[in-house]
Amino acid sequence: MLKLVHLTILISFLSQASIYHRADFLYISLILGVLAIVFGVNVVAHRYIGHESFQASGPITCILLGWFSYLGLDSPIFYNQLHQRHHFNSDRLGDPHSPHQRSAWLLPLRIFFLKFPPVPIHFRILKRQLRRPYFKFFHRWRYGIPFLAMFLLASLGSLSAVFYFMTVPSLFALFGQLMQVFLGHASRLNSQSTQDRSSDSVLMNLLTLGEGLHHSHHIHPRRIFQKMDNPLLFDFTGWLILKIPFFQKDSKI
């Protein structure tokens, strides 16, 4: 993610003169940015890679994981490890990104300038992830795919195409991830039922475009759709997964 964002920003600075003249690219990049949050972070990263809330056929899996890689979200195996750690140890020692640990507030800076803190590998989870279709492939090609896409965009389009079609959506994805990490656990109160500090948040639901039911999600991590009376807490991600016919849903989840 970092290398991709850094490199594309560098490229975009080099091509600065042309960037500001592409209003048509700007509209496309904003659409891609919304897709990066809704599909990249919410549906693919969180619900599919993180929780296996649904299954998909081979070609659809390749599209989903390809989009995840394109956005520079790194390895699906690493993402799953990180997210499972977060659920096992929410707001306790071992949570890789609880906002209640002082170090977490440096996370955006770390993500942008350095690299994500290493997470100890959980071998039982790793074994399961390695068996999931195409996970090994997209793990190996986690840098290759975005760099190849960048190269194609730069050679077929222009350098500003790299900025609009890769940098902007990647930054949207980064924003969506940070909102989930921070707003989902921003509550100061300890929750009775799960011992973590996750909370359902209207603000988070609006900013993440449908992933604000974080406390409900911690109680039922694999549940596809969380029903809420408050329309501002509509589980848009879950609704979308239910509506997409290509996704195979287990009726027990």
Rule CB under 5 A: which residues touch Zn ion? 184, 198
Query: Which of 61, 98 has the CB closer to Zn ion?
Result: 98
Burial of 96 (0-12, 13-18, 19+ CB in 10 A): buried
Q: 88 vs 246, which CB is nearer to Zn ion?
A: 88
Residue in this structure with the two tokens 């195996």, named with its chain if needed: 77
**At its nearest, how many Å lie between Zn ion and the CB of residue 194?**
10
CB of 169 to Zn ion, least distance (A): 22
User: Min. distance of Cβ 173 from Zn ion in angstroms?
Assistant: 16
Beta bridge partners of 247: 56
Q: How far is the CB of 92 from Zn ion (least distance, A)?
A: 12
User: Are 15 and 163 a contacting pair, CB within 8 Å?
Assistant: yes
Which residue, 146 or 184, has its beta carbon nearer to Zn ion? 184
Of 65, 12, 64, the residue nearest 246 (C-alpha): 64
Element (H, E) at 217: helix 214-219
* Cβ at position 189, least distance to Zn ion in Å: 15
Q: Smaller CB distance to Zn ion: residue 12 or 51?
A: 51
Contact 2, 115 (CB under 8 A): yes
Confirm if 215 and 198 have CB atoms less than 8 A apart.
yes
Q: Is 45 or 171 the residue whose CB approaches Zn ion more closely?
A: 45
